[in-house]
């Protein structure tokens, strides 16, 4: 029986993957083909902006709906003719059949963590086993001593993918050395960095790879119990994990005497409750132990004193999804990818002003240019790249002229940002750096747990300064004060949240100080984003007097009769931008600095 | 009524606990399930009594986490993503539209008790920004027009 793979990742489901599947079932039945084809619902195929996807005989069809399915069944399955219309197009516009091999978005990727995504049905343990799943666990239990496992992982050079990049083998070794009759393994699936969603994709698309990684970790350190801490906002991931754990138990990959050995290990799910700080490992443990999710001072580290005082290894989802692959293929194979200090691959989430949003797994050491242009397809609308934000609220921005830097832990740190969990937010000329910094500070102020003063008060004070600058009320002294505060908060906060929160401010100041100064000195926002520093005006040459803007304006700020030039009263305008959105003649534009009522501007 | 729900929450939590203390977190979570989105003080106190722990242990949790709450403030809770990827993809206009349509700001409830508006951090769906969730249902690739239509559907009871 041949397989037809339909992407059932979160984004594709939301854009109609299930009606595509149902239509396919129906069509296959009607054509009497249901005996020949089997439909496999897979995890995320990666290019979420073009879903729903379907793969038949290696041919990738995108942007499907029910009608498309009918055409494809009629033409491709019955008639043997590929339906050009629904194929993916290369950046140059040419359509390709086998997009996974031919389209640079897919062909440049190296799939280790995402090896099964888009290939297997995440609800089926048999699919996972068919592709070599749980072989690594078997090998480890039957052929390797715990110390061998640790050596293998140490040699691979795998570093934690949850943000800090700590060597995973070393972490396991510390935990293994602790003398204790109880130990824990925790999977950190609290993914909260804005812009990151790779952990969700792995949990939804290949949950068993994480379970297998956890079981191997548990064997290596001598743990009996595991927890997966998932955020409540990921209901589909929770559902798939629940199913997977249940299947693994029934097949003897979890529970007592795994695969007939005397190794026993079981896993439970714990669900977060909406606190970003719970992604920090000590806060996460507090939350599992039924306390407020507040971090504590380290040392002692979790590997010494973790859950209920017992040695605990905490690893990120993506870190764990690497483990079985390394055991199966060996550390030398792993080291073929990436750089000396950052071996292997990393899954990046491309978001923001980029043509191909979605998840990509690439070798570490790739440059941002390759990632954004070759794989990501560049910036939409012919706009200019301005900067790239990595590492979420703990990271910083990298200016466009530095995009030839290789992406690895050290290079990013040298630029003042961090790898973080792999969110890549692309910013173009319309984005304001003061606004970006303000944005992240607002996030930190909101998420600071309140325990230590530098983070609680310092981030608030920084936010207030940024707010003033964005309103044109800042002074040059404010900029200096902002910089000083940022350094203090960075150096004196208790946990990683506060220690990294100033990074967006520090990097925007480092690379875009001029933009701050223009906000202060000229009361102008060059990107025309900061609301208090812009005005909306109508271009007399372009306005046709269609009245569309006048109709949508919520405050009645626009005056004008049909077929006559319209005019925006600045004293009534609340700068919501509705007029600009609705104008079909590009006659509404923004100016900065703002103008006063009755003031005239030159059309741009 | 209250007692029944509390006992049921305790029961469900008991099936999952490993350690005495991680019990508490699960109890608060199941109370929210039982009471459909909140955990009233009388339920917390009763649960604490039955568990023989000080009520403060449960209050501590029910008040720290942003998904937990002591009272049901509105029929529907709108959580709009306020993180950067959504922001640069037009999220600001979405928030604007919500504020304008509902006539309230973050943390407030509409006078008819229909909606509460909350801003949340990244929902991990930045591939379809801008996003919002209403009572746990995700709405993606939003435009101001879509937001208006969605609110209308809730108001009319088309979506429960
Ligand atoms: C504020 C804050 C939030 C964090 N959020 C996460 C997260 O969502 N997921 C994650 O895996 N690690 C997160 N971390 C990092 C964890 O503390 C920890 O380093 C990581 O889970 C270790 O796993 P790894 O070695 O496999 O990376 C966060 C750290 C801080 C300071
Ligand atoms: S930023 Fe809104 S979902 Fe990620």
- Integer Cα distance of A6 and A53 in angstroms: 6
Task: Say whether both A202 and A254 belong to one domain.
Answer: yes
pLDDT tens digits, one per residue of A107-125: 889 999 999 998 999 999 9
- Hey, is the C-beta of A381 within 8 angstroms of any chain B C-beta? no
The number of the ligand 1 atom at minimal distance from the alpha carbon of A277 is 1
**In the structure encoding, which two tokens stand for residue A403, read together?**
């995009």
Is the per-residue pLDDT at A143 higher than 60?
yes
Average pLDDT over residues A66-75: 93
pLDDT tens digits, one per residue of A4-40: 999 988 778 878 889 999 999 999 999 999 889 999 9
Task: Say whether both A92 and A137 belong to one domain.
Answer: no
Q: Residue B13 belongs to what H/E stretch?
A: helix B2-16
- Integer Cα distance of A420 and B125 in angstroms: 17
Average pLDDT over residues A403-415: 93
Question: Residue B85: which pLDDT band, with cuts at 50, 70 and 90?
Answer: confident
Q: Which of A370, A326, A316, A378 has the alpha carbon at shortest distance from A352?
A: A378
Is the per-residue pLDDT at A602 higher than 70?
no
| Domain end position, chosen among A428, A452, A482 | A428
The answer to whether position B124 is within a domain reads yes
- Integer Cα distance of A555 and B100 in angstroms: 11
3-class DSSP state for residue A11? helix
Task: Say whether both A559 and A479 belong to one domain.
Answer: no
CA B59, distance to chain mean position in Å, is 17
Assess contact for B2 and B34: CB atoms under 8 A. no
Q: List strand residue ranges (DSSP E) for A70-118, in order.
A: 88-89, 95-96
B120 lines ligand 2 (CB under 6 A): no
The answer to whether position A602 is within a domain reads no
Task: Say whether both B120 and B152 belong to one domain.
Answer: yes
Ligand 1 mean position, distance from CA A100 (Å): 32
- Residue percentage of chain B with pLDDT more than 70: 99
Total number of domains in chain A: 5
Task: Say whether both A285 and A411 belong to one domain.
Answer: no
pLDDT tens digits, one per residue of B114-160: 999 998 888 988 888 899 999 888 898 899 999 999 999 999 988 87
The answer to whether position A339 is within a domain reads no
What's residue A604's pLDDT?
44
**In the structure encoding, which two tokens stand for residue A51, read together?**
């879903």
CB atoms within 10 A of CB A542: 14
Contact A49 B87 (CB under 8 A): no
The answer to whether position A442 is within a domain reads yes
The model carries a pTM of: 0.87
What's residue B20's pLDDT?
65
Average pLDDT over residues A200-207: 95
The answer to whether position A600 is within a domain reads no
Task: Say whether both A238 and A100 belong to one domain.
Answer: no
CA terminus-to-terminus distance, chain A: 63
- Integer Cα distance of A163 and A391 in angstroms: 8
The answer to whether position A299 is within a domain reads yes
3-class DSSP state for residue A25? helix
ipTM of the complex: 0.85
Task: Say whether both A399 and A516 belong to one domain.
Answer: no
Average pLDDT over residues A536-546: 93
Total number of domains in chain B: 2
Higher pLDDT, A327 or A493: A327
Residue of A nearest to B132 (CA): A233
Any idea what the CATH number is for the domain that residue B88 is in? 3.40.30.10
Assess contact for A549 and A579: CB atoms under 8 A. yes
Any idea what the CATH number is for the domain that residue A16 is in? 3.40.30.10
Average pLDDT over residues A362-389: 94
Task: Say whether both B152 and B81 belong to one domain.
Answer: yes
**Backbone dihedral region of A260: left (phi > 0), alpha (psi from -120 to 50 degrees) or beta?**
left
Q: What mean pLDDT is reported for chain B?
A: 90
- Hey, is the C-beta of A14 within 8 angstroms of any chain B C-beta? yes
Q: Which of A39, A53, A54 has the alpha carbon at shortest distance from A121?
A: A39
State the ligand closest to the CA atom of A195: 2
Boundaries of domain holding A361: 345-428
| Domain end position, chosen among B20, B39, B64 | B64
The number of the ligand 1 atom at minimal distance from the alpha carbon of A168 is 25
**In the structure encoding, which two tokens stand for residue B106, read together?**
């973050």
| Domain end position, chosen among B14, B37, B64 | B64
Question: Residue B22: which pLDDT band, with cuts at 50, 70 and 90?
Answer: confident
Q: How many CA atoms lie within 13 A of A78 on its CB side?
A: 15
Residue of A nearest to B28 (CA): A290
- Hey, is the C-beta of A309 within 8 angstroms of any chain B C-beta? no
Any idea what the CATH number is for the domain that residue A211 is in? 3.40.50.11540
Percentages (nearest 5) of helix, strand, coil residues in chain B: 50, 10, 35
Average pLDDT over residues A444-466: 90
The answer to whether position A113 is within a domain reads no
Higher pLDDT, A220 or B65: A220
The answer to whether position B106 is within a domain reads yes
Task: Say whether both A264 and A159 belong to one domain.
Answer: yes
- Integer Cα distance of B151 and B147 in angstroms: 6
Task: Say whether both A256 and A329 belong to one domain.
Answer: yes
Q: Which residues of A384-408 are buried (b: 16+ CB within 10 A; e: fewer)?
A: ebbbbbbbbbbbbbbbbebbeebbb
A160 lines ligand 1 (CB under 6 A): yes
Assess contact for A189 and A111: CB atoms under 8 A. no
Ligand 2, from B78, B80, B81, B95: best to mutate by most atoms within 8 Å of Cβ? B81
Is the per-residue pLDDT at A482 higher than 50?
yes
Higher pLDDT, B83 or A469: A469
Task: Say whether both B57 and B87 belong to one domain.
Answer: no
- Integer Cα distance of A167 and A28 in angstroms: 50
Task: Say whether both A323 and A206 belong to one domain.
Answer: yes
Task: Say whether both A33 and A145 belong to one domain.
Answer: no
Average pLDDT over residues A556-573: 92
What's residue A297's pLDDT?
84
Average pLDDT over residues A404-427: 91
The number of the ligand 2 atom at minimal distance from the alpha carbon of B126 is 4
Q: How many residues does chain B have?
A: 160
Contact B100 A554 (CB under 8 A): yes
- Hey, is the C-beta of A258 within 8 angstroms of any chain B C-beta? no
B85 lines ligand 2 (CB under 6 A): yes
| Domain end position, chosen among B44, B64, B84 | B64
CB atoms within 10 A of CB A567: 15
Any idea what the CATH number is for the domain that residue A508 is in? 1.20.1440.230
- Residue percentage of chain A with pLDDT more than 90: 75
The answer to whether position A598 is within a domain reads no
Q: Looking at A226-230, A252-256, A476-480, B17-21, which range is the least confident one?
A: B17-21
What's residue A442's pLDDT?
87
| Sheet containing B137-139, strands listed edge to edge, beginning at the edge strand earlier in sequence | B115-120, B76-81, B132-134, B137-139
Question: Residue A447: which pLDDT band, with cuts at 50, 70 and 90?
Answer: confident
Boundaries of domain holding B49: 2-64
Is the per-residue pLDDT at A577 higher than 60?
yes
Task: Say whether both A216 and A320 belong to one domain.
Answer: yes
**In the structure encoding, which two tokens stand for residue A334, read together?**
């792993």
Task: Say whether both B50 and B83 belong to one domain.
Answer: no
| Domain end position, chosen among A74, A107, A140 | A107
Task: Say whether both B102 and B150 belong to one domain.
Answer: yes
Ligand 2 mean position, distance from CA B125 (Å): 5
User: Nearest CB to B66: which of A271, A274, A439?
Assistant: A274
Task: Say whether both A163 and A286 belong to one domain.
Answer: yes
Is the per-residue pLDDT at B29 higher than 70?
yes
Ligand 2 mean position, distance from CA A473 (Å): 30
Is the per-residue pLDDT at A300 higher than 70?
yes
| Domain end position, chosen among A403, A428, A453 | A428
Query: In sequence order, what are the beta bridge partners of A590?
Result: A536
- Chain A contact set for B126 (CB, 8 A): 194-197, 349, 351, 357, 423, 425
Q: Looking at A224-228, A245-249, A496-500, which range is the least confident one?
A: A496-500
Q: At what angle do helices A433-447 and A503-521 cross, to 10 degrees?
A: 130
- Chain B contact set for A193 (CB, 8 A): 122
Question: Residue A603: which pLDDT band, with cuts at 50, 70 and 90?
Answer: very low
- All residues at 6 or more sequence positions from A159 whose CB lies less than 8 Å from its CB, including other chains: A165, A166, A167, A168, A342, A343, A409
């Amino acid at each position: 029986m041949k397989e037809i793979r339909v992407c059932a990742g979160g984004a594709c489901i939301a854009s109609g993957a299930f009606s595509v599947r149902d239509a396919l079932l129906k069509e296959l039945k009607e054509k009497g083909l249901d005996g020949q084809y089997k439909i496999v619902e897979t995890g995320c195929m990666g290019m979420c902006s073009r879903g729903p996807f379907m793969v038949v005989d290696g041919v990738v069809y995108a942007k499907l709906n029910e009608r498309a399915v009918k055409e494809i069944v009629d033409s491709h399955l019955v008639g043997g003719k590929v339906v050009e219309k629904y194929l993916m197009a290369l950046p140059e516009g040419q359509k390709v059949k086998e997009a996974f091999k031919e389209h640079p978005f897919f062909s440049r990727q190296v799939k280790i963590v995402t090896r099964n995504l888009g290939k297997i049905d995440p609800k089926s343990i048999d699919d996972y086993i068919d592709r070599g799943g749980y072989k690594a666990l078997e090998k480890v239990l039957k052929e390797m001593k715990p110390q061998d496992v640790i050596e293998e992982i140490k040699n691979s050079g795998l570093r934690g993918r949850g943000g800090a990049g700590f060597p995973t083998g070393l972490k396991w070794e510390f935990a293994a050395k602790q003398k204790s009759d109880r130990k824990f393994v925790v999977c950190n699936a609290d993914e909260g960095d804005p812009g990151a969603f790779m952990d969700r994709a792995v949990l939804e698309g290949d949950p068993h790879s994480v379970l297998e990684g956890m079981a191997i970790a548990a064997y290596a350190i001598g743990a009996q119990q595991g927890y997966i801490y998932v955020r409540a906002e990921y209901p589909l991931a929770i559902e798939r994990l629940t199913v997977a754990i249940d299947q693994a138990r029934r097949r003897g990959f979890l529970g007592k005497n795994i695969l007939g050995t005397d190794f026993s290990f079981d896993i439970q799910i714990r669900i977060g409750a909406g606190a970003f700080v719970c992604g920090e490992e000590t806060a996460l443990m507090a939350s599992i132990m039924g306390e407020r999710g507040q971090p504590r001072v380290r040392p002692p580290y979790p590997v010494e004193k973790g859950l209920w005082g017992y040695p605990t290894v905490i690893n990120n989802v993506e870190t764990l999804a690497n483990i079985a692959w390394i055991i199966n293929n060996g550390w030398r194979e792993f080291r073929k990818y990436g750089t000396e200090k950052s071996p292997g691959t990393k899954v990046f989430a491309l978001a923001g002003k980029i043509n191909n949003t979605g998840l990509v797994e690439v070798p570490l050491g790739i440059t941002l240019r390759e990632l954004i242009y070759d794989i990501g397809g560049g910036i939409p609308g012919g706009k200019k790249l301005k900067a790239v934000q990595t590492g979420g609220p703990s990271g910083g921005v990298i200016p466009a002229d530095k995009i030839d830097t290789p992406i690895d832990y050290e290079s990013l740190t040298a630029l003042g940002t961090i790898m973080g969990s792999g969110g890549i937010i692309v910013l173009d000329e319309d984005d304001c750096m003061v606004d970006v910094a303000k944005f992240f500070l607002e996030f930190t102020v909101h998420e600071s747990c309140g325990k230590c003063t530098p983070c609680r008060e310092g981030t608030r004070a920084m936010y207030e300064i940024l707010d003033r600058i964005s309103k044109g009320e800042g002074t040059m002294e404010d900029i200096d004060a902002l910089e000083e505060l940022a350094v203090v908060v960075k150096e004196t906060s208790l946990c990683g949240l506060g220690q990294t929160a100033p990074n967006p401010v520090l990097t925007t100041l480092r690379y875009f100080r001029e933009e701050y100064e223009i906000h202060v000195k000229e009361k102008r926002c060059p990107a025309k984003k900061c609301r208090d520093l812009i005005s909306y005006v109508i271009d007399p040459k372009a306005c046709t007097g269609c009245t569309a803007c006048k109709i949508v304006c919520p405050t009645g700020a626009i005056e004008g009769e049909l077929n006559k030039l319209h005019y925006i009263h600045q004293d009534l305008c609340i700068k919501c931008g509705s007029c600009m959105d609705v104008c079909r003649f590009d006659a509404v534009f923004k100016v900065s600095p703002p103008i006063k009522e009755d003031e005239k501007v030159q059309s741009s | 009524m209250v007692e029944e729900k509390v006992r049921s929450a305790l029961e469900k939590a008991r099936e999952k606990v490993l350690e005495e203390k991680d019990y508490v977190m699960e109890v608060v979570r199941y109370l929210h399930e039982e009471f459909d989105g909140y955990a009233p003080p009388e339920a917390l106190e009763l649960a604490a009594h039955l568990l023989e722990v000080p009520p403060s242990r449960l209050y501590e949790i029910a008040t720290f986490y942003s998904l937990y709450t002591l009272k049901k403030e509105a029929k529907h809770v709108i959580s709009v993503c306020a993180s950067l990827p959504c922001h640069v993809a037009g999220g600001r206009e979405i928030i604007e539209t919500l504020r304008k349509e509902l006539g309230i700001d973050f943390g407030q409830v509409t006078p008819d008790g229909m909606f509460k508006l909350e801003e949340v951090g990244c929902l991990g769906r930045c591939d379809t920004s801008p996003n919002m969730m209403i009572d746990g249902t995700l709405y993606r690739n939003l435009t101001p027009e879509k937001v208006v239509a969605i609110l209308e559907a809730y108001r009319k009871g088309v979506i429960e």
